[in-house]
Each structure stands twice: as structure tokens, then as C-alpha cells.
Amino acid sequence: MSDSRGGSDDGTGEATRPDGGHPDATAAVDALDAVDGGPEVDAADSESAATAAAAETSTNDGVRGALRHVFVVAVTEYRLAVRSRWALALTALFVVFGGVMLTFSGSAVGPAGAERVVASLTSLAAYLVPLAALALGYDAIVGREEEGWLAVVFSLPVRRSEVVAGTYLGRLAVLAGATVLGFGFSGALIVREFGAGSLSAFLGFLGGTVGVGAAFLAVALLLSTVAREKTHALGAALLVWVWFVLVHDLLALGIVAATELPDAALSALVLSNPVSAFRVFVLSGLGTTAGGGFTAVLAGSGLSTVALAASLVAWTIVPVAVAARLVRRRRL
Amino acid sequence: MRIDASDVRKTYGDVTALDGLSLTVPSGSTFGIIGTNGAGKSTLFRLLVGHDRPDAGTVSVGGTDVTEDGRRIRERVGYLPEHVGFPDGLTGREVLGVHRAMRGLSKDGRTAEAIERVGLTADEADRRVSGYSNGMQRRLGLATVLLPDPDVLILDEPTAGLDPRGVDEFHAIVEEITSETDATVVFCSHVLGEVERLCDRAAVLHDGRVRAAGSVDELAAEAEAAADRDGDSATRSGRDRDGLRAAFREAVGDDAAHDARVGKGRADDATADREEVAP
């Protein structure tokens, strides 16, 4: 048997480590070994190897084992997303659209130019980021099942909820990284144009963008967990996008225009849509209503920044928790 | 490690998958489960690895009730489901690395050992799975379940979809494993020739129940005696009266045995192919 370990190439130009693994796999596995704290075992000593294996197996219990499972799944998902060019595509998307928005809104800037540009970026992100998050997450579970990988992972001594959590975190890392890098390009241009004073407004926008992306990724994960087929999950994801990004805002605006709503009802309308919460979160910090639509009406709804941030966190945690529970129903 | 199932019932909606199934798999044996589609084979395997709970009855692996802690069962069991696949973006070695990390196993050369055991070369293991043939994916699947040196191997139709040569090579790997380890191996198959070749014991499942069980030789002898007793010898070919095929026909009836006729043909093809490629 030929042995190509120690620098073989799989045809993709990615070098392998001395024992044949991928370099990013090396870091992950080394980190896992550090978490385990287990000693290296001499392969020649089969008896001690068996003893060590038994000891290691016992570490599958408890929080540390659960964290390891979540971490391994997350690293694997991240690696797969990077290799399938998802991370690159999303980053490029945010760079290009952010750059275009910056170019066109730049001509209209006045003394409050930085805030106006950030408000324009917020309008863009409100459409783009939810769509990107849903596209990234709709096949997270059902796609892996159709692939056959989910059955393989579930055959291991893991809880299904750990697999769901790891899948979410791995993809969230991809989305958050692309958001920070992609819109970070716009941020660098804003700071260069308007000075360091504009940084806080941009950072608020960036935080909100990561938050709304995390929320829609969580919703996509839930859809992927309950869908029987990938196409069903895709269709549901598109409907979710249409509802939250297009329809909900228009309906809410119509209701506000037609009736005298108390503040509590207005707040409920905002919090029931992560996109609205995101818009109000960012724009209220800018002191502008340039986002237009329902958000302009809600400038004085009385919701604090903390409440808006908490709603985005809730929109993230609740769908993931429900998905972690419902995944038990899948027959694998 | 011994496996016991006692009076197990499992239904999904209106469908009764297992209907009072009782079965014992002795420790260290190679046990074949044969049956037609819908006989309950995959449901039984899902129960054995704790993916599901029986509605009634008990299932234990190595004395541990599967309803108590499925994860603990899966620490000691290597389970290869029927429909497995791997992400295209991973190499075979990385797939094994994920398994090793998930199981918390140390780096002691067991990945390379598993790769070698299933007949993948180091070059193949370092290639992405997207370039793997069906046979190579099956080998990789087998390597993942061998990685922790399990006490029990459960293989759900492991040769489904393989070409005759792939089937034969897979059989050789399983034979090597059973001769080198004392692991209990349980696998299900439509192919009677496969069970005859690999197993020392077998059970015939039909409509969620065990219709016959015992050593392969015992099953064959009982079936032949029954055929003689019923005067069937004049209506059946000599081959039909021999071996597990007769036992299967006796247990499930002529109509239900049709699938096995197809299976037998595939096994024969594999044998012919082996003879053809042998030097």
C-alpha cells in the first residue's frame, strides 16, 4: 500500500498535515485534545491504549463532552462552508453592495453624512442579510440528511440537540465573519471619509447586522429541521423572507396609518419582526428616520436599545431551542 | 457482547413494524438478519442503537437497556446505517477525524489502521469524498464504525448498491474483521448467499416477527426436513432445498421469498466475478 501521508495534495491545492489531515482540521483536533487533556497513547502498547480508550469514552458524559460534540460539529460545518465558497461569496456580496450603496449615498451627504450613509447601509442590510442567512441555513439539517451525513453523525454517541447547536454555530461563524469583513470594507471607507467619530454609529450598525443575520439563520435552521425535503425548506425560507422583509412592514405601516395604536402595540409590532427590531435598533442610535417605512413611524415607540437587542437574541435562541427539540422526531 | 430483544413491539401510526419480536444474539457471533422489505430489520436496528424506543418489550445490548441511555450504547456499538453519505468537501481521513474527535479518542494511529483495514490507500483517504465511488464510500463508512474498536458492529444492508466485485471485497473485509476480533457482528441483508457466507447464526424476520432463528446449519437442516416431510422435494430444485434459501422459503412462504431469489442471483454474480478476476 502506498503511503502518501506527509504532504499529499487532494487536487485542490490544500496542503495536508503530516498525519494526513487538513490544516484547519489540525487546529480543531488539537484544540479538542487540549480540552480533553488526555495523554497521547502509544499505539504499540495495546493494553494501555484500550485502557485509555475506556477512560476517554467516559469523557463523553457531562458538559465537557457535550461542548466537544458541539465544537466538532461547528468546526466541521465552518470548514465545509468555507470550502464550498459560501464564506467568500457572502463576503463579496456584502463588499459589493455596501460599496455601491456607499458610492451613491456619498453624493448626498451633508454635515451628518456618516449617519446618513449608515442609515442607507441599514436599509440595504435589512433586505440582504436576512436573505443571505436564510440561503445559508435552509439546508442545514434536511440537506445533511439527504446527503446521508446526518445518519452517520447520529450513529455516534451524541445528543441530537448537540448536533443542531453545532450546525448553527458553525454556520453563524461563517455568516458573522462575512458580515464583519464584507461590511467592514464599507466601514473602513466611512471612517476614512468622515473620521473616527463615525465609528460608533457604524459599529452599532455592524452589531445589529450580525444580530439580524443570527436571527434569520436560526429561523432557517428551524425550517430545515421540520422540513421533509430540501425544496420544502427552501420554499418556506423564501416565504419567511417575503413576510418579514416585505409584507410585515407594509401591513404594520397600514395599521399605524389607519388606527391610533397605543405604544405597547407599536412595540409589539416592532418586536414581532426581527427586521423591524434591527432597523429601529440601528436608526434610533443615529437619531434619524432615514430608514423610512414603518421604522420612521416608530422612532418614538419608546423601545430601549437593550429591549431591541434582547428581542434579536430571543429571535435567535428560541428557534434554535425549538429545532434542537424537534430534531428528535426525525427518523434516522 | 450479547444482544437480547424480548417481545418487542413498535408501531409507527397504523403500521406495525415489530410485532412481539424476540431474539438473542450470542456474544462474539456473526449474526445475519434476513427478511423482505418491511420485515422490520431497520426498525430493529434503530432500537438496538437507541434511536428509538420500543412501545413494549425490552431491548438490551451487553446487559444495558437501550431505553435507559442510547448514547452509552452507541459508545460501545459501531452502527452503519443503510443510507449513509459524507459531505463532499471532506476527505476520507477528515471524516474519520471528525468521528475520532466526536468519540473523544486519542491520536494513536487508529485512523490509519482503520483506513488500512478497509482497504483504502493513504492516497484515497486524502482525497475528497466527492471523488469516491459507491464502494469506496461504503469502505469509508465501515472504517468509521471500526474506529473505536467497538464491541458490537451493526451493519444495515452494508452491500446494498455495490457492484458484484464491491460486494465480494466487502465480504472479505468483514470476514477479516470477524476472524481478527471478538466483536459481535449483526447485519441484515436481502442476499441469502451473503448471510450464508459470513454468518454462523441467522434469523428470518417477517411481518415484524422472528419466523426462524438458529445456526445457519440448523436452519438449513430444519428446512430440508420440513420440505421432505411436506413432500415438496418434487416441486423444488435441488438448490432451493439446500441451505438458508430453503429456511427462508419455509419461514416466510413462497411469495415473500421472491426478493431473496433476486438476492441469491446477486450473490452468485459476485462469486462468478470473483472467479473471473482471480489470478
d(CA B75, CA B83) in angstroms, rounded, equals 21
Q: How many Å lie between the alpha carbon of A316 and the closest alpha carbon of chain B?
A: 26
Element (H, E) at A233: helix A230-241
C-alpha cell at A231: 425544496
Per-residue pLDDT at A12 = 32
**Residues A84-121: pLDDT tens digits?**
988 999 999 999 999 888 887 655 544 467 888 888 89
- For residue B123, which residues of chain A lie inside 8 Å, CB to CB? 2, 4, 8
Which residues neighbour A216 within 8 Å (Cβ) at sequence distance 6 or greater? Answer: A129, A130, A133, A134, A137, A240, A241, A244, A274
- Would strands B56-61 and B3-12 be described as parallel, antiparallel, or unpaired? antiparallel
Residue B266 has pLDDT above 50, yes or no: no
Residue B260 has pLDDT above 70, yes or no: no
Sign of CA dihedral B135, B140, B146, B152: negative
Pick the residue with more confidence: A54 or B86?
B86
Q: How confident is the model at residue B184 (pLDDT cuts 50, 70, 90)?
A: very high
Where in chain A are the domains?
84-329
Per-residue pLDDT at A252 = 83
Residue A6 has pLDDT above 50, yes or no: no
**How many beta-carbon pairs below 8 A join chains A and B?**
158
Per-residue pLDDT at B154 = 93
d(CA A104, CA A96) in angstroms, rounded, equals 12
* Mean pLDDT along residues B182-196: 85
- For residue A29, which residues of chain B lie inside 8 Å, CB to CB? 97, 100-101, 107
d(CA A121, CA A117) in angstroms, rounded, equals 6
Share in percent of chain B as helix, strand, coil (round to 5): 45, 25, 30
Report the chain B residue with the minimal C-alpha distance to residue A75. Answer: B98
Report residue A140: phi and psi, to 5°.
-55, -40
Provide the domain count of chain B: 1
- Expressed as residue numbers, the domain containing B214 is 3-277
Sign of CA dihedral B112, B118, B123, B129: negative
Q: How confident is the model at residue B67 (pLDDT cuts 50, 70, 90)?
A: confident
Residue B240 has pLDDT above 80, yes or no: no
Per-residue pLDDT at A269 = 86
Q: Which of B79, B87, B109 sits opposite A149 (nearest CB)?
A: B87
ipTM more than 0.85? no
Grid-cell match 451524541, residue found? A158
C-alpha cell at B47: 432500537
> Tell me, what CATH number does B240's domain have?
3.40.50.300
* Mean pLDDT along residues A243-268: 85
Lowest-confidence region among A43-57, A152-166, B29-43: A43-57
In B, residues 86-115, which contact A (CB 8 Å cutoff)?
Answer: 86-87, 89-91, 93-94, 97-113
B75·A155 Cβ contact <8 A? no
Report residue B202: phi and psi, to 5°.
-155, 160
Q: How confident is the model at residue B275 (pLDDT cuts 50, 70, 90)?
A: very low
A182 neighbors B116 (Cβ within 8 angstroms): no
